[in-house]
Amino acid sequence: MGLLREIARAEVAILIAGLGVVGLWKILRARPGLGGRLGSRDQTGHWVAGALRWQMGLITVAVALVYLLSSLGAAGSGTLPPVPWWALVVLALSHGAWLASVARRRPGSRLS
């Protein structure tokens, strides 16, 4: 059973590495590039909407990176590391601000 577990671990590692490399390659190769499209302005042409999109993307990447780093130290604990409540609040505010900017663009919206 020990050998079987090692084989299964190797297979999972190979599949995840393969999917990660191929997926990243496909996404980054797509034209127009992701960064250019994220930086483009929205239908209103206002810079605030672009800034809200960028802050949401940056906070997302920051929270994900910190969580991945904290999970490296939790190996063998048998539980996923918890997320601090203030990080959840920051994330919810960030996403809420972006959703409000999208809702503002709706035709007939009371926010517009």
Partner 1 sequence: MELFWRNVIRGVLVVVGLAPIIVVTYFALNRSLTKEALMLLVGAELATLLFSFGLVVLHAIVTDQIRLDSILNEQTGEASVSRFQLLIFTFTIALTLVYLTLCGNGQFPAIPKEVLILLGISATTYGVGKGLQLGLGSNPPAGPPRAPDPGAATPPPAPPAATVNNNPNAN
How many residues bind to partner 1 according to rule CB under 8 A? 66
- Contact in structure between 41 and 35 (CB atoms under 8 Å): no
Asked if 106 touches partner 1 (CB under 8 A), the answer is yes
- Which x/- pattern over 11-50 shows residues binding partner 1 (rule: CB under 8 A)? xxxxxx-xx--xx--xx-xx---x--xx-x--xxxx-x--
How many whole angstroms separate alpha carbon 68 and alpha carbon 89? 19
Asked if 1 touches partner 1 (CB under 8 A), the answer is yes
How many whole angstroms separate alpha carbon 104 and alpha carbon 92? 18
- Contact in structure between 44 and 28 (CB atoms under 8 Å): no
Give me the amino acid identity at 44. Answer: T
C-alpha dihedral sign at 63, 43, 47, 31: positive
Closest distance of CB 105 from partner 1, Å: 6
Closest distance of CB 65 from partner 1, Å: 8
- Chain mean position to CA 104: 23
Residues near partner 1, by CB under 8 A: 1, 4-5, 7-9, 11-16, 18-19, 22-23, 26-27, 29-30, 34, 37-38, 40, 43-46, 48, 53, 56-57, 60-61, 63-64, 67-68, 71-72, 74-85, 88, 91-92, 95, 98-99, 102-108, 112
